[in-house]
Amino acid sequence: MALEEYVGAIVMEVDSQEIEVISVSPDVDTGTKPVPTMNRKGRIKGFARGIRKFTLKVTVVIPLAGDPVDWENLEGAKITIFPVTPGGQRVTYQDCGTQTVSDQYTADNEARRDLTMFAADKVTE
């Protein structure tokens, strides 16, 4: 049985500028909702499609010289996530904006900034 290679480290770019990232967690809310109906079996008979929502939870380091991105006022940005090794798929989130920004300081770790962002669309290349 041959070994399979998996996606390892990733690089994140915001408007073609590489960002030092600790973690990225994209979430997709499909918008699909169950439609409860009254029937003899007492169960759902179908569903309705809704609006798809993309949320990104991003943790970045806080550089001493200052952030390369104004996270609090970020609007309409393009965020691309791709694997460091060649051959993997690039995922681009379009028209991104920041919803929340929170800083985190601990005694035994680097300073971090936690961001919650939204995107209007997702493209897999």
Q: How far is residue 113 from each of residues 28, 31, 58, 59, 80, measured CA to CA in Å? A: 22, 29, 8, 6, 19
Q: How confident is the model at residue 25 (pLDDT cuts 50, 70, 90)?
A: very high
Q: And the tokens for 122?
A: 């997702």
For the entire predicted model, the pTM comes to: 0.83
- Per-residue b/e over 67-90, b at no fewer than 16 CB within 10 Å? eeeebeebeebbbbbbbeeeeeee
Domains of the chain, CATH where assigned:
10-124 (2.30.110.20)
How much is the pLDDT for 76?
Answer: 93
Percent of the chain with pLDDT over 70: 100
